[in-house]
Amino acid sequence: MTSDQHDPMDSPRYAEIATFMRAPLVRDVTGLDVAMVGVPFDGAVTNRPGARLGPREIRNQSSNLRKIHPVTRVNPFSAARVADVGDVRLPEIYDLPAVVRDIEAFFAKVCGAGAKPLTAGGDHSITHPILRAVGSERAVGLIQIDAHTDTWDEFLGSPLHHGAPFRRAVEAGVIDPKRTVQIGIRGPQNFTDGWDYSEDSGMTVVFMHEVDQHGLDGVIEIARTVVGDGPTYVSFDIDGIDPTFAPGTGTPEVGGFSSREALALVRGLRGLDVVGADVVEVAPPLDPSGNTALLGATIMYELLCLMVDSTIQGEP
Ligand code: MN
Ligand code: MN
């Protein structure tokens, strides 16, 4: 980036090409603190597709956002070097192992350049290869907001579907299950082995009925205690939020967080060492109002602010 480059944030919000939060589009990740990435892939869903269109619509709705955080008053775009680095290219989209390999290779470049990745999905299967890159040198902690644990095993013969990324990440040694917390789990299942795997592997699982018992502040305290001060990834499945607020997703479950609770939950993670984050499962074809994508974009902004806070704190 050069200082004479046009800043799309200077234009009216309805103008210019839509990038994530109107950040500059930069293909070279060198020198960035946070790289915002799109992964337009939904070839691993077990139910309704559409999340492949998530990055494009989140970019569009993110044009509504502005710079300065209303609580912290931090402007993440001046406090850190932030850019939209485009989408991961997936030339072998019908080959799941090839998709995993290509996503991991892209994020290995981002991490290798010293940038923290902030991603818009895509279905939740994309988080497994992202974590393979983010956690390649040491297992990271994980805060997952989701209606589902996504720790099931094979579905229709495939281990790489969107209900399995965190089981695969534990097996790969790239997340530490003892530093993992899953928040907002709910809805009936046909089998309990995903729930069981999470608990048996040492993860902390906070079901939604337990959120009601602890209260939001109690849940934030649990999350902070579980991950501690080590490097932590935050994965936000939009179906963690109630379908009243976020109908545009493939596997909706009623009884979820409100959008206000979701913002408070993410803001409650301030000060943790957030080394990467994503928002996944926004499915624009199921989202006629655009509100789900707007909510996804807004959560992404909140995650950006967490990551920039970590970057500022990490500086000497
Ligand atoms: Mn989910
Ligand atoms: Mn999920």
CA dist 311 and 192 (Å) reads 39
pLDDT digits (tens, 9 = 90+) for 221-246: 999 999 999 999 999 999 999 999 99
The range of the structural domain enclosing residue 39 comes to 3-314
pLDDT value at position 2? 47
> Phi and psi (nearest 5°) for 58?
-65, -40
Q: Report the C-alpha gap between 230 and 217 in whole angstroms.
A: 21
Element (H, E) at 174: none
Find the 80 Cα to ligand 2 centroid distance in Å. 29
Number of domains in the chain: 1
Ligand 2 mean position, distance from CA 183 (Å)? 11
Ligand 1 center from residue 85 Cα (angstroms): 26
Write the CATH number for 203.
Answer: 3.40.800.10
Question: How much distance in Å is there from the Cα of 123 to the middle of ligand 2?
Answer: 8
CB atoms within 10 A of CB 310: 22
The 10s digit of each residue's pLDDT in 52-68 is 999 999 999 999 999 99
How far is 84 from 35, CA to CA, in rounded Å?
Answer: 6
Nearest ligand to the C-alpha atom of residue 121? 2
CA angle 236, 237, 241 (to 5 degrees): 100
The answer to whether 135 and 108 have CB atoms below 8 angstroms apart is no
- Which pLDDT value is given to residue 6? 61
**Kindly report the CA angle at 43 between 21 and 302, in degrees rounded to 5?**
25
d(CA 45, CA 163): 8
Stretch (H or E) spanning 38 = strand 34-39
pLDDT at 1 exceeding the cut of 70: no
